[in-house]
Structure 1
Amino acid sequence: MSAQPIIKLGVPKGSLEEATINLFDRAGWKIRKHTRNYFPDINDPEISASLCRVQEISDYISAGILDLGIVGLDWLHEVEHDKDVQIVSELTYSKTSNRPCRWVLAVGGDSPYQKPQDLAGKRIATELQGLTRKYFERLGIDVDIFYSWGATEAKVVEGLADGIVEVTETGTTIRAHGLRIIDEVMCSYPVLIANRAAWADPRKRAKIDQINLLLQGALRAENLVAIKMNAPAQRLDAILGMLPSLNSPTVSPLQDQQWLSVETVVNIDVVRDLIPKLRQVGAEGIIEYALNKVI
């Protein structure tokens, strides 16, 4: 008898789609999309997957249609679901995947506005009306907020808005449109969220915990590599002194007692400087290899 799905998973369609599928792949779940429908295959009979717009996933989870999903923190805050949605964990993808993004308040480069208070009574264009409204309410500033269907940066240039709240990573696109950032509204990053009823169900919770554990392990491994080498026994202390590691490096004897095998895990950013130094103090047969997960 085949196993029945325990978890209904929402996979975000759009900007988070590729990074999410790659992350699940490294964690051990192969998600395979179909060109004709929104229900990809996944190599786990306990999970059924649906490809959904990231803006809708929190609504589906709140309603109990989905049990688990990945959304941006910005879209989670756009509509409050405090009673029905549980944030399981942050999924801070590395610089090789999705980086945190910023929602910023921007105005024309030659405008007189220098701070949010200067926009009192003015028109603000944005795709995230709820988030923007909460931001200005928190500051006690009364503004006219209207929805932007796209090309938000152009709204100021065309004279349709006095300011915009728009998403950016570096601010390059905003500056290219002749705009100037005057405040940060929020920093957003992917989060794993669950329906609270699913979170309270022991069987579903066990599966959610398994998924979260392996996703976090895959994320942690993105910035780490393993290094293995042969080390002269007489130079062991010097070599160990050069090795940053998660824990104490593994040192094993070799058949030739004048040599030892040393293995450790280090941050990927230090490897290019570390390997030449290890070579200089006598290490040989240095091997670097990637990691799928670090738990």
Structure 2
Amino acid sequence: MLRIAIQSKGRLFEDTMALLQEAGIKLSTSKRTLLVQAANFPLEVLFLRDDDIPQTVAGGVADLGIVGENEFVERQEDAEVVRRLGFSKCRLSLAIPKEEEYTDVSWFEGKRIATSYPCILKDYMSSKGVHADIHVITGSVEIAPGIGLANAIFDIVSSGSTLISNNLKEVEVVMQSEAVLIANRQLTPEKRDVLKELLFRIEAVKSAEDKRYVLMNAPNERLKEIIAVLPGMKSPTVMPLAQEGWSSVHTVLDEKCFWEIIGKLKSLGAEGILVLPIEKMIL
């Protein structure tokens, strides 16, 4: 059985639980306990603080962990990144008071920077040849300049609204982050097999994201033109209709180019276009 450590609350917790549910793993969350076993898969979930997950996985207390990449890099623990998960995206950025004039990273020379991510910040400043006073704090980092504790901050940014409300502006993006699945490097062959099945399920869920199954009726004389504009996984499915001279065309479209392609299909004579969501996709 695999033990996976996940964040005990917050957005990352919600996104992780949704992923496991979509992967068909049934977990009881009616009573929050430290350890919960899945009902239909050899997996148990250990709920922890996000900053404890890298060490827990590297030390073998948990076999796997889902954690923000920012926390994993900051903790510098020896674990393996198995898969990037594409959710809980954010960035680690430097921000300064809005009224300050900023040219480049040399602005931070000799300045005091408040952060909860000193290791990442130290490496970045070192790579730029800048010497700054890194002041480590936890909690509300963004208030540090306003109370005179620091000249700038280095913190997580999602929408940027927190910076604006504290009269700060983002000036340097140091790192992009998202949720990652990490694993202990010493997994047994049996646990590797379970991990392989878990990854198969996750891949099926992630492959279906932002994809739509599209069915349409197409005049046979325009079939070649219609098929030419379809960027499906492989060749689309084409089946004759009862009405002579028409066929049914089935394909999968990426949502980001969906409306552009639909417009082209209509101009080529496609009719009765039906769009369906995809829950899982096995490639």
Normalising by structure 1, report the TM-score. 0.86
Match of 2:84 in 1: 90
Residue 188 (structure 1) aligned to one of 164, 177, 186: 177
Aligned with 2:35: secondary structure? coil
Where do 1:152-163 residues align within 5 Å?
152-163=141-152
Q: Which amino acid aligns with 2:131?
A: D
1:139 matched to 2:128: yes
Task: List runs of 5+ in structure 2 lacking aligned partners.
Answer: none
Which 10-residue stretch deviates more, 59-68 or 181-190?
181-190
Residue 26 (structure 2) aligned to one of 19, 30, 39: 30
Cα deviation, residue 155, structure 1: 0.8
1:60 matched to 2:56: yes
Cα distance change, pair 228–41 in 1 and its aligned pair in 2 (3 A):
farther
CA deviations over 1:134-157 (Å, ceiling 9, x no partner): 222333333222222322221111
- Conserved? CA contact 1:113–1:119, under 8 Å: no
Aligned with 1:264: secondary structure? strand
Cα deviation, residue 12, structure 1: 2.2
CA deviations over 1:147-188 (Å, ceiling 9, x no partner): 223222211111110111011124343133222223222111
Cα deviation, residue 15, structure 1: 2.6
1:46 matched to 2:35: no
Q: Distance in 1 between matches of 2:105 and 2:222?
A: 61
Q: Which amino acid aligns with 2:232?
A: S
Residue 212 (structure 1) aligned to one of 199, 203, 219: 199
- Conserved? CA contact 1:34–1:40, under 8 Å: no
CA deviations over 1:204-251 (Å, ceiling 9, x no partner): 112212222321331221111110123232332232233221211111
Q: Distance in 2 between matches of 1:47 and 1:36?
A: 17
RMSD over equivalenced CA pairs, Å = 2.2
- Conserved? CA contact 1:91–1:216, under 8 Å: no
Q: Which amino acid aligns with 1:18?
A: E
Q: Distance in 2 between matches of 1:135 and 1:273?
A: 41
1:260 matched to 2:247: yes
Q: Distance in 2 between matches of 1:279 and 1:118?
A: 55
Cα deviation, residue 77, structure 1: 0.9
Aligned with 1:248: secondary structure? coil
Aligned with 2:77: secondary structure? coil
Cα distance change, pair 102–230 in 1 and its aligned pair in 2 (3 A):
same
Q: Which amino acid aligns with 1:190?
A: A
Cα deviation, residue 280, structure 1: 4.8
Q: Which amino acid aligns with 2:249?
A: V
Q: Which amino acid aligns with 1:69?
A: G
Match of 2:70 in 1: 74
CA deviations over 1:21-63 (Å, ceiling 9, x no partner): 1122222223332334133452434111122222111111011
Q: Distance in 2 between matches of 1:112 and 1:242?
A: 49
Aligned with 1:292: secondary structure? coil
Q: Distance in 2 between matches of 1:221 and 1:53?
A: 30
Where do 1:230-245 residues align within 5 Å?
230-245=217-232
Normalising by structure 2, report the TM-score. 0.89
Match of 1:169 in 2: 158
Match of 2:107 in 1: 118
Match of 2:275 in 1: 288
Q: Distance in 2 between matches of 1:221 and 1:56?
A: 31
- Conserved? CA contact 2:37–2:43, under 8 Å: no
Q: How many residues are treated as equivalent by the alignment?
A: 281
1:228 matched to 2:208: no
1:12 matched to 2:7: yes
Aligned with 1:16: secondary structure? helix
Q: Distance in 2 between matches of 1:41 and 1:289?
A: 34
1:251 matched to 2:238: yes
Aligned with 2:11: secondary structure? coil
Aligned with 2:186: secondary structure? helix
Task: List runs of 5+ in structure 1 lacking aligned partners.
Answer: 1-5
